[in-house]
Structure 1
Amino acid sequence: MKKLKIYLGIVAVGLLLSACSSGDETKEPETLKSGFNLEHVHGVGYSKEDTIYLASHEGMIQTKDLGKTWTPVGNNDFDFMGFHIQSDGTMLTSGHPGPKSNLPNPLGLMESTDNGENWEVKALQGDVDFHILTSNQKNPNLLFGVIQMESGVYESGIYKSTDRGENWDIVGGTGLPDDLHGIYSLLSLPNDENVLLAGTNQGVFRSEDGGKTWGIQDEGRAITALSAISGSSDLLSYSITENEGGVMISKDQGATWKKLGLDLGKDAVAYFAVHPEQPERMAAVTYENNLLISEDGGQKWETLMEKGKLKN
């Protein structure tokens, strides 16, 4: 398992880089110059309008022309964490307010229905920082979030909401690694709301009861990024084993994986985004702050950002 061990070390560094911190000054709404450096990307999204969004430690930016031009989104200098775009286009995030914001810290759950221009509080403001958020592709009312360490009255664990984030209950997490910082990715399967997959530093775990209890599914595989492929029950992952690593697809709910390509060596994908209407179009952000896109379902990839520097 030599390669897997090397990889997990890279992931640990990535997790440290994405640790909580406050944002920089709010960016002006103008085209960003080539070479602009975006630090600590914490999420990527793809909208039906063909826009790619990057949520970061310093706010959010977007490109509508595959990286030729980039502009800031909205007037928020949030430290975006747990960024997630639902199947209906609603944006969700957690994290921390920036220095120009008077919002409580942490942000709890925030929601945007206008592509990140404005954000409204949904729940848990001042109480919770979800580093991982996900929702079911077929049922956007169903949300899951990971609280990795105790926050006031909220203990660490897997939390669930059935009303789009208004109310949350802990569902447990029995059987997962004790330190939930070791969870890299979480996915609610589109064809079964009760089944979840978690990629962790101890392998791939599976829950059949909505996150209450978990069992190891593959202890020899690390999955750092998970996504449902739009309009299907197929799953996308960045997966690594002793013998191979890369972007992979599963057609059997994560039981087996077939490699598509893009073995990043010592780097790895941290976040995926799949176009909601054209599933062959994908975006991926790596732990080394690289942004790559694919227009053919993951076979070939083009780099739009390298180590945080835009290449427009």
Structure 2
Amino acid sequence: MKKGLFFIGAAMSLTLLLSGCGNGDSAKEEAETETSNEQVIVEDNEEKETVDIETDNGSQVIAAHDFYEPFTGNMDHIHGIGYAGNQNAIFFAAHDGVKVYENGEWFKTKDFNNDYMGFTPVDKGFYTSGHPGAGVNLPNPLGLKRSYDDGQTLEDLAMEGQSDFHAMGVGYYNHAIYLLNEYQNPTLDLGFFVSKDDGQTWNEISTADLGGHILNIAVHPTNEDTVALTTEAGVYLSEDAGESFTLLTTNKQGISVHFSEDTLWYGAYGNEPELIKYSLESGSGEEIALPKMKQDAVMYFAQNPQNEAELVFSTINGDVYLSNNQGETWQLLVKQGKLQD
């Protein structure tokens, strides 16, 4: 399955297709999707002006973990980022397993390298969907799963072997789950649903007024009734568990969403990419200066729950940027999937 992003500006019209795997996609189909994406994405990025930054993240948990090893390869098709397990380490979900950036070093899982979709870090680990990796003996698709041991094992919560959830959000501390089900199964019809008991029961949410296909979902870390999502029509916020939504943007494509306690961070695209820090209390938004980006946008975003000055985002074209000063400066960690020195 492919998801389309339609960026419409006064001076240009750009269509970027995001690769994804539908239920039962074969490796051949996946490869064809990736090739197609390479053909349609306009790679016209100028050299970005960035600065090197130093981070002081304390102890190196992942570096000492026997399930992880140093990583020096390419990281393509990121499907979620964040601070899993409330650690000072950034987790990235990709087609070939979890990658982690910790204190200036990269690591990857030694095995159990699943194709994670809907990857959402929480305080105890991460929730995810997707497909089993090569040699992994799990049903395909994975359904709804979680890991509380840095990805060494996956606990089945619901719909194993039934569905693959590309758009999913989970509250960092409350673990309320909001997801888009795009394949009818014995548990859920097609639609947008919420579960507040780890997938045991579900309530459907109307998407009639959301202006298009849901791309990304975020849930407030402590208030399980506050959820944000993005569609082609913009960025939407609900504070009543989806009973009603408020459109926060005008004439912009909604792309990424992320909550901290008092703030909704969102990425959008109008004539150019933007990152907004939206106050939940005042309802006002502050634009955060982005590094030089051309025909690209903020696809996934996260803030370190232990250090609010530390921000990270990945882009549609496969770049990753890190800031340790609330976005005043940015360090380029990955450029079009290639790790930077």
Aligned counterpart for 2:20 among listed residues 18, 21, 33: 18
Match of 2:205 among 149, 162, 171: 171
How many Å separate the matches in 2 of 1:153 and 1:237? Answer: 31
- Aligned mates of 1:227, 1:254 — CA distance in 2: 17
- The answer to whether structure 1 residue 109 and structure 2 residue 109 are counterparts is no
1:84 maps to 2:120: yes
Cα 1:207–1:83 change in 2 (3 A) is: same
Identify which of 79, 92, 109 aligns with 1:73. Answer: 109
The answer for the alignment partner of 2:45 in structure 1 is: none
Q: CA deviation at 1:213?
A: 4.9
Q: How many Å separate the matches in 2 of 1:249 and 1:192?
A: 18
CA distance in 2, matches of 1:172, 1:215: 14
The CA distance in 2 between the partners of 1:172 and 1:235, in whole Å, is: 22
- Deviations 1:133-183, CA, capped at 9 Å, x for gaps: 21234522x211112343466322111111133433433333234x6xx32
Counterpart of 1:167, as a letter, is: T
Of 253, 274, 277 in structure 2, the residue corresponding to residue 246 of structure 1 is: 274
Given that residues 107 and 126 in structure 1 are in contact (C-alpha distance below 8 angstroms), is that contact kept between their aligned partners in structure 2? yes
Aligned to 1:125: 160
CA distance in 2, matches of 1:254, 1:129: 37
Within 1, Cα distance between the matches of 2:215 and 2:21? Answer: 13
CA contact (8 A) 1:235 1:254 kept: no
Partners of 1:120 and 1:22 lie apart in 2 by 24
Give me the whole-angstrom Cα distance separating, in 1, the residues matched to 2:249 and 2:165: 25
Aligned to 1:197: 228
1:136 to 154, 171, 179: 171
Write the letter of the residue equivalent to 1:60.
V
**Which of residues 261, 280, 288 is equivalent to 1:260?**
288
- Per the TM alignment, residue 92 of structure 1 is displaced from its structure 2 partner at its CA by 0.7
Alpha-carbon distance in 2 for matches of 1:254, 1:137: 22
Q: 1:306 to 1:291 in 2, by over 3 A?
A: same
Does the 8 A contact of 1:247 with 1:298 survive in 2? Answer: no
Q: Is the 8 A contact 1:193 1:210 kept in 2?
A: yes
TM-score calculated relative to the size of structure 2: 0.76
Q: Contact 1:110/1:122 (CA < 8 Å) preserved in 2?
A: yes
Gap runs ≥5 in structure 1: none
Residues 217 and 281 of structure 1, relative CA distance in 2, 3 Å threshold = closer
Structure 1 distance, partners of 2:178, 2:11, is 28
SS class of match (2:169) = strand
Residue 196 to residue 93, structure 1, CA distance change in 2 (3 Å): same
User: Residues 321 and 330 of structure 2 are in contact (CA less than 8 Å); yes or no, is this contact kept in structure 1?
Assistant: yes
Specify the alignment match of 2:40 in structure 1.
none
Of stretches 101-110 and 216-225 in structure 1, the one that deviates more from structure 2 is 216-225
In structure 2, the residue matched to 1:40 is: 77
- Structure 2 residue matching 1:183: 3-state secondary structure: coil
Q: 1:122 to 1:191 in 2, by over 3 A?
A: closer
Amino acid at match of 1:184: L
2:275 partner amino acid: V
Q: Among residues 6, 15, 27, which one is paired with 1:9 in the alignment? A: 15
Change (3 A) 1:165 1:7: farther
State the Cα RMSD in Å.
2.8
Q: Which runs of 5+ in 2 are unaligned?
A: 1-6, 31-66
Q: Aligned residue for 1:188?
A: 219
How far apart in 1 are the matches of 2:282 and 2:269?
14
